[in-house]
Structure 1
Amino acid sequence: MNAAQAFKTKPEKRIELIVARIRKDKTQIQAAKEIAVSVNYLRKLELGIESPGRDTMFCIARYYGVSERILFPDLFL
Structure 2
Amino acid sequence: MIAVAVSVTLLLVATVIYTFGDLWHGTAGAGLAYDLAPPDAIGAYQGVDGMVALANRRPARPVAGERPAGTV
TM-score, with structure 1 as normaliser: 0.28
TM-score (norm 2): 0.29
Bigger radius of gyration: 2
Indicate the structure with greater helix content.
Answer: 2
Task: Compare relative contact order (CA 8 Å, sep 6+) and give the higher one, 1 or 2.
Answer: 1
